[in-house]
Amino acid sequence: MNNTKAALKQTAPKKKKRKIVSLDKKKARSGWFFVAPFVIGLLIIYLPIVLDSIVLTFNSTKTVRGQGVQLTFIGLDNYKTALLDDPNFVQTLTSGLRQLVIDIPAIVIFSLFIAVLLNQKMVGRAAFRAIFFIPVILSTGLIAEIDASNSLNQYMSGNTGIETGENIGSSASDIISAADVSILFSSMSVGSGLVQTITDLVNDVYNIINRSGVQMLIFLAGLQSIDPAIYESCSIDGATSWETFWKITFPMISPMILVNTIYTVIDSFTSADNTVMNFINNYYNSTSMVVSSAMAWIYFIIVFAIVAVVAGVLSAYIFYQRRD
């Protein structure tokens, strides 16, 4: 780069005042112009906020009238408070992480399954798609918050109806009775832990459906981008649809699985039923904002580590089609 610049300077006649700009440079300049909003925002808004947030967790704050916020450096005390002094945080964190580890595969597998179904030609496909994407738009934020603290659905779908409200013993919102599932599995002797996990998932199906909307969209987009010619040649060679799925669809969609896994994790931070985030939010509102920041960073870093490991493992198995 520098050499060519120097060469240009030497050879360029001095009377020409206008600088000669190569096409590459010109394009780079317009590129910078297009991404300029993001760069400016990153530098003056986002990075300061993130840095402040990290710095804050090592300080205690005091708001002084007329002088803004004053910081006193206290080292790792906030982290100590979060991890050692608070009786509930570690417990909430471990159970929340366990829930996350169970939920992610469930959401990814479910959304892949539904995306494959919705990608097939059938009567009423448009209507089904419209219904399945309703949660993306309508069951977020406020509505999810209202739903999370809502006993009405459970009363209404319960066997005894809304009138008693007494059937709380077994959560009545279950689509299939969890008892049936556990009876089915108990005769298989696969261990009570697994049975418990599966029953929890079955009970949680509404939640899983609600949270897999965007993932479904991403999978659908991925499925659409697979060349139909591949399927055609497969069917000519006599492959069954089961084989086609595992030999063609699954490898071709594998990059989407990684994307969706990461998206699901990120999305879980903002979902209303995330116990850890709710705990942190309550802590933020009630006790200490700074300690809650420390908690949020601990949570984020642990989840990020999990995602990094999962992404590292998955990316070894991902198949990228070469497009030449």
Partner 1 sequence: MTNNAVKVTKETKNKIRVEFERTSAWKKFKLKYLSLNFLGMAIFKIFRLVLLIGISYVILYPFFTKIASSFMSPTDFVDVTVKLIPKAPTLNTYKQIIIENHYFQALFNTLMISLLCGVIQTFICCVIGYGFAKYRFKGSKILFLLVVLTMIVPHQTIRYSMFMKFRYFDIGYFNFGILKLFGDLDGISLVNTFIPLIVLSVFGLAFKNGLYIFMMRQFFKNVPDELEESAYIDGSGTFRTFIQIILPLSVPMMITIFLFAFSWQWTDNFYTSTSMFFPGRNEILLSKIVQIPKTLDTNYAGGNQFSDAIRNTCGLLIIAPLIVVYLFCQKFLVQGIERSGITG
Between residue 145 and residue 164, which ones bind partner 1 under the rule CB under 8 A?
Answer: 145-147, 149-153, 155-157, 161-164
Stretch that binds partner 1, among 73-81, 94-102, 243-251, 300-308 (CB under 8 A): 300-308
* Residues 117-146 contacting partner 1, CB under 8 A: 117-118, 120, 122, 126, 128-138, 140-143, 145-146
Minimum CB distance to partner 1, residue 187 (Å): 24
Minimum CB distance to partner 1, residue 15 (Å): 27
Cβ nearer to partner 1, comparing 195 with 298: 298
Minimum CB distance to partner 1, residue 140 (Å): 5
Distance (Å, rounded) from C-alpha 197 to C-alpha 200?
A: 5
Handedness of CA 226, 313, 203, 171 (dihedral sign): negative
Residue type, 100: L
What are the residues whose beta carbons fall under 8 Å from the beta carbon of 316, sequence distance 6 or more?
A: none
Instruction: Tell me how far CA of residue 45 lies from CA of 41, 61, 101, 229, 296, in angstroms.
Output: 5, 21, 33, 48, 20
Sequence-ordered alpha helix ranges (H) in 120-247: 125-132, 134-138, 141-148, 152-157, 178-186, 192-203, 205-211, 213-224, 228-236, 241-244
Minimum CB distance to partner 1, residue 100 (Å): 13
* Residues 12-71 contacting partner 1, CB under 8 A: 27-35, 37-42, 44-46, 48-53, 55-56, 66-69, 71
Distance (Å, rounded) from C-alpha 79 to C-alpha 137?
A: 37
* Residues 216-235 contacting partner 1, CB under 8 A: 217-218, 220-222, 224-225
Minimum CB distance to partner 1, residue 130 (Å): 5
Q: Element (H or E) spanning 31, and its range?
A: helix 23-41
* Residues 278-297 contacting partner 1, CB under 8 A: 280-281, 284-285, 289-290, 292-293, 296-297
* Residues 78-117 contacting partner 1, CB under 8 A: 114, 117
